[in-house]
């Protein structure tokens, strides 16, 4: 970097390792890829966060981390540009989380909108997640972000309250210890295309309505074949309503150029659902082919994947240690 080159701003984002990712994640990842050139990016696999709700299901954790790393690299995250790492490899996340847990009023955590909602949702599924760790996970998120002096956090609308809490924690810390070590981040609202599952509900592995980024052409074909269409269309000449059809929602994402032509033909009863699905399958497989190909290469190279995570952890630790040293000094530790 020359003296006149302005320092890039920093962003931080993470994902819980849930195993192979699906098309619902692709838009988020494509946004991360775009941000790589503009920002100094820290992308982490949030294995400690996974424990907040799945503390009793750790058998698959390492495999899930591996599969997520493969997916990230397959879609174009570049470990030479971005810092890609496993959260638990950088212990400073835990130390800053502990510091924040000492100074944050309990009421701030109890009022986080997702807290009560998720307690209830998991409760309905017969799982008690009323743990200390689950209540405190927004503070672990605050630590994840503030550790790297992030200027911005790429989020969807629903996560804005978490960024707001992080800002409040930063302000409180700076005020209590008369320091400016914590940088208040902005929410960087991402334009994420929300894709429903094949049954038009939210896409989720647990609903079996997802399409994996690793899906073979045959698997994509079968998934598209199972998609819900306009029930009024029995034969090709029936007049259709594309706006209520899942296949059409996907055409809007994967076949934007022909979307309007398809809508017109569907309404006029000039295209059959089988042909429409065949066309969508081709478009989707064209998008997924390079991802699947790259995946096959990476799957064979465990050593490379470990190197990426180890190198990322080293680079992340260098930055994290600086923040922790300043925070300790401010707290007189
Ligand atoms: S023709 Fe296409 S858009 Fe119209 S109902 Fe069939 S699958 Fe849906």
Give 96-127 pLDDT, tens digit per residue: 999 999 999 999 999 888 888 888 887 777 77
Strand partners, 22: 212
Can you name the residues that pair with 155 across neighbouring β-strands? 189
β partners of residue 196: 202
Please state, in angstroms and rounded to a whole number, the distance separating the CA atoms of residues 185 and 317.
20
Tokens 């309007």 locate to: 260
Supply the pLDDT for residue 194. Answer: 79
Q: How confident is the model at residue 30 (pLDDT cuts 50, 70, 90)?
A: very high
Which residue's CA is the closest to the ligand 1 atom numbered 1? 273
pLDDT in tens, 216-248: 999 999 999 999 899 999 999 999 999 999 999
Q: What is the pLDDT of residue 207?
A: 86
In the three-class reduction of DSSP (H, G, I as helix; E, B as strand; rest coil), residue 107 is classed as helix
pLDDT value, residue 3: 56
Mean pLDDT computed over 65-85: 97
pLDDT class for 190, splitting at 50, 70, 90?
confident
Q: Which pLDDT score is estimated for 123? A: 73
Q: What average pLDDT does the segment 299-317 reach?
A: 97
Question: What is the layout of strands, in order, in the sheet containing 83-86?
Answer: 83-86, 40-45, 10-15, 152-155, 186-189
Torsion, CA 230, CA 232, CA 238, CA 242, rounded to 10: -30
pLDDT confidence band for 333 (50 / 70 / 90): very high
Whats the size of the chain, residue-wise? 333
Per-residue tokens: 100: 């924040």
Residue 284 pLDDT grade (very low, low, confident, very high; cuts 50, 70, 90): very high
- Strand-pair category, 10-15 with 83-86: unpaired
Q: Cα of 69 to ligand 1 centre, how many Å?
A: 36
Mean pLDDT of 172-177: 98
Spacing, Cα 28 to ligand 1 middle (Å): 27
Is 90 exceeded by the pLDDT of residue 5? no
pLDDT value, residue 289: 95
Domains of the chain (ranges, CATH numbers): 10-195+302-331 (3.40.50.620), 205-295 (1.10.240.10)
pLDDT at 124: 76
- The DSSP call for residue 22 is B
CA of 75 to the centre of ligand 1 (A): 29
User: Who lines ligand 1 at CB under 6 A?
Assistant: 229-230, 233, 240, 242, 245, 247-248, 262, 266, 271, 273, 276-277
Cβ-proximal residues to 37 (8 Å cutoff; 6+ apart), any chain: 81
Tokens of 106: 């309990």
Burial of 146 (0-12, 13-18, 19+ CB in 10 A): buried
Q: What H or E segment, with its residue span, contains residue 86?
A: strand 83-86
Long-range pairs of 99-102 with CB within 8 A, sequence gap ≥ 24: 99/143, 99/173, 99/327, 99/331, 100/139, 100/142, 100/143, 100/169, 100/173, 101/136, 101/139
pLDDT confidence of residue 4: 61
pLDDT bracket for residue 7 (50, 70, 90): confident
Atom of ligand 1 nearest to the CA of 263: 3
Is the pTM above the cut of 0.85? yes
Find the mean pLDDT for residues 187-191.
86
Place of tokens 């707001």: 164
Mean pLDDT of the chain: 93
Mean pLDDT along residues 63-85: 97
């Amino acid at each position: 970097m020359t003296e006149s080159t302005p320092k890039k701003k920093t962003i931080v984002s993470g994902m819980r390792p849930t195993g192979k990712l699906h098309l619902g994640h692709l838009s988020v990842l494509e946004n991360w890829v775009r941000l790589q050139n503009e920002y100094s990016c820290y992308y982490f696999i949030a294995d400690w966060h996974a424990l907040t709700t799945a503390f009793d299901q750790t058998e698959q954790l390492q495999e899930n981390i591996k599969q997520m790393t493969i997916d990230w690299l397959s879609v174009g995250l570049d470990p030479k540009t971005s810092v890609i790492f496993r959260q638990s490899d950088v212990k400073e996340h835990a130390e800053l989380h502990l510091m924040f847990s000492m100074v944050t009023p309990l009421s701030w955590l109890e009022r986080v909108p997702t807290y009560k909602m998720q307690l209830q949702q998991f409760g309905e599924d017969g799982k008690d997640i009323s743990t200390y760790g689950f209540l405190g996970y927004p503070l672990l998120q605050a630590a994840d972000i503030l550790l790297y002096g992030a200027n911005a956090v790429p989020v969807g609308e629903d996560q804005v309250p978490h960024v707001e809490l992080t800002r409040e924690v930063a302000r409180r810390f700076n005020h209590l210890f008369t320091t400016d070590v914590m940088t208040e981040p902005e929410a960087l609202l991402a334009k994420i295309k929300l894709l429903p599952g094949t049954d038009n509900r939210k896409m989720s592995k647990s609903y079996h309505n997802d399409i994996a980024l690793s899906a073979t052409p045959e698997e994509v074909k079968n998934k598209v074949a199972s998609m819900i269409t306009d029930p009024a269309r029995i034969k090709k000449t029936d007049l259709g309503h594309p706006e209520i059809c899942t296949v059409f929602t996907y055409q809007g994402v994967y076949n934007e150029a022909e979307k309007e032509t398809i809508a017109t033909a569907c309404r006029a009863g000039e295209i059959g659902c089988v042909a429409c699905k065949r066309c969508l399958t081709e478009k989707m497989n064209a998008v997924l082919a390079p991802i699947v190909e790259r995946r096959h290469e990476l799957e064979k190279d465990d050593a490379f994947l470990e190197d990426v995570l180890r190198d990322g952890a080293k680079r992340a630790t260098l930055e994290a240690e600086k923040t922790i040293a300043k925070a300790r000094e401010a707290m007189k530790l």
